[in-house]
Amino acid sequence: MKRWTLALVIGASLSAQVKLPPYTREALPNGAVAYYMQKTGLPLVSFRVLVKGGAESDPATLPGLSSLAAELLERGTARRTAAQFAEELDTLGGSFGAGTDRQSTSISAEFLKKDFDAGFALFTDAVLNPAFREEEVRKLTARRADSLKTSKDNPGSAILNYYRSFFFGAGHPYGRLPEESTYDLVKREDIVNYHKQMYVGSNLVVMVAGDFDPAAAKARVSEAFGGAPKGTAYAWAEDRPPAVPGAPRVLLVDKPDATQTYFIIAQPGVRRTAPDRVALNLVNTLIGGRFTSMLNEALRINSGLTYGANSSVDLARLTGAIAINTYTKTQSTAQAIDMALDVLRRIQENGFTAQQLASAKASVKGGYPTSRLQTADQVAGTLGEMELFGLGRDEVDQLFQRIDAVTLEQANAVARKYYRTENLTFVLLGNAAKIRESAAKYGPKVVERSVKQPGWAM
């Protein structure tokens, strides 16, 4: 086969535009969309399926349903028991993984090129014909309930759940999280119905990437995934931007044995497709997206208060949050929060310099090829994202030009628009007896709960 390399414009200049490598997109009669992207060099081929919906599509009473369905795919099909499936997969040395994010379920597998047929047969069997046997459902839900408990022993990940629940609230799909009791409520029938309704042609994006024979791959994909029922396309939820509260909100989560306080400061952000996304990515890089960012400089480099401080921008289908996330020893809780707030104030007052903006542009462009265009999996991920969010290939092919075109005025306007200093949401997790007073500084009322209580919500 012809040796293939990424069709990048390789030049000495950082502003050279990167391009997506060649790929083929095909719409199948049942509504499924297929992508083929060849990359030789390693004798591996990967399959990926995206099912539209994700956490957004979970019933309000059963958060985590899509994720349970995903994890159960490899635990037995109509033709294979869970043990048989695992045995065949492992014998090929194959890998298989499935999980959900806010808008999709992603199932991927990788095999040796020579095992294309056997691997593809296993993959499609799991995606299209899972059995969801009662025994496997109960085993997984029991383990999930225990995992959820142990996640409360890990403050860095627990605070994310408390924060999502508090910030978005139970009325928003992003604010609904599985709790210990959720796993008692889930019935096999719920999972079977979810799969039947959602894993249909109209909701599927199929991708083959790596080293493979395109003609054979197209035939297999058309047969297996083109043969799935067309079904009804998932009706995406209406966007409901998180309301800006009239006053700051504070949640304090008590973990009496904690020797440091973890905290998140959040406010409403944007959707993945927001026109501001390119500029916002640049300003977030400067504020909390890299080692020399304002937040990390203030809280780590200059003061030694923390190992790391960052800010992140949700880029999901529905409007998400912009959140500052860090931790510090119990005694310096208020000092660290004040420092983070001071960063927000400085953004509002001073904005950025042309030099800072140029540096952010260099950072974002410099890291892009290694993180998005280097491996077949990365390119498949990028293509899937484009399909899911309805973006064109210009999202990559024009990216560097768009970055270059962001002016200082635009960047500063975007920074001031999204990194506000008022009516923020604060979530603190730590030793409440020692930080209760500090927490009270940040809002008129502090909502308090303990890690010992079940669930995440108030």
Q: Which of residues 247-276 bind other proteins (CB under 8 A)?
A: 256-260
Provide, rounded to whole angstroms, the least separation between the CB of residue 120 and other proteins.
16
Site for other proteins in 399-438 (CB under 8 A): none
Nearer to other proteins, 11 or 390 (CB): 11
Q: Among 365, 379, 381, 418, which residue sits at the site for other proteins (rule: CB under 8 A)?
A: 365
- Total residues at interface with other proteins (CB under 8 A): 76
Q: Among 2, 11, 238, 275, which residue sits at the site for other proteins (rule: CB under 8 A)?
A: 11
Rg of the Cα trace of the chain? 24
Q: Cα separation of 219 and 129, whole Å?
A: 19
What are the phi and psi torsion angles at 175 (to 5°)?
Answer: -100, 0
Provide, rounded to whole angstroms, the least separation between the CB of residue 281 and other proteins.
14
Beta bridge pairs of residue 36: 24, 208
Binding mask 74-113 for other proteins (x = CB under 8 A): x-------xx--xx-xxxxxxx--------------xxx-
Provide, rounded to whole angstroms, the least separation between the CB of residue 18 and other proteins.
8
Nearer to other proteins, 179 or 377 (CB): 377
Site for other proteins in 335-364 (CB under 8 A): 358-359, 362-363
Provide, rounded to whole angstroms, the least separation between the CB of residue 184 and other proteins.
14
Provide, rounded to whole angstroms, the least separation between the CB of residue 359 and other proteins.
5
Please choose, out of 1-9, 122-130, 219-227, 315-323, the segment that lies near other proteins by the rule CB under 8 A. Answer: 1-9
Provide, rounded to whole angstroms, the least separation between the CB of residue 223 and other proteins.
25
Site for other proteins in 134-173 (CB under 8 A): 139, 142-143, 145-147, 149-150, 152-156
Provide, rounded to whole angstroms, the least separation between the CB of residue 44 and other proteins.
6
Nearer to other proteins, 28 or 122 (CB): 122
- State how far the alpha carbon of 328 is from the alpha carbons of 149, 262, 274, 340, in Å: 24, 7, 33, 12
Angle subtended by helix axes 155-168 and 134-151, to nearest 10: 100
Nearer to other proteins, 272 or 361 (CB): 361
Provide, rounded to whole angstroms, the least separation between the CB of residue 237 and other proteins.
32
To which residue do tokens 């994006």 refer? 205
Binding mask 369-388 for other proteins (x = CB under 8 A): xx--xxxxx-----------
Q: Among 16, 247, 354, 440, which residue sits at the site for other proteins (rule: CB under 8 A)?
A: 16
Nearer to other proteins, 209 or 388 (CB): 209
Rounding to the nearest 10 degrees, give the CA dihedral for residues 264, 267, 270, 271: 60
Provide, rounded to whole angstroms, the least separation between the CB of residue 140 and other proteins.
10
Nearer to other proteins, 203 or 281 (CB): 281
User: How crowded is residue 366: how many other Cβ atoms within 10 Å of its Cβ?
Assistant: 10
Nearer to other proteins, 56 or 110 (CB): 110
Site for other proteins in 26-65 (CB under 8 A): 41-44
Q: Cα separation of 43 and 22, whole Å?
A: 19
Token couple for 363: 């950072």
Q: Cα separation of 128 and 450, whole Å?
A: 42
Q: Specify whether the CB–CB gap between 180 and 454 falls below 8 A.
A: yes
Nearer to other proteins, 236 or 291 (CB): 291
Nearer to other proteins, 23 or 174 (CB): 23
Site for other proteins in 285-304 (CB under 8 A): 290-292, 297, 300-304
CA geometry: angle at 106 spanning 152 and 49, to 5°?
165
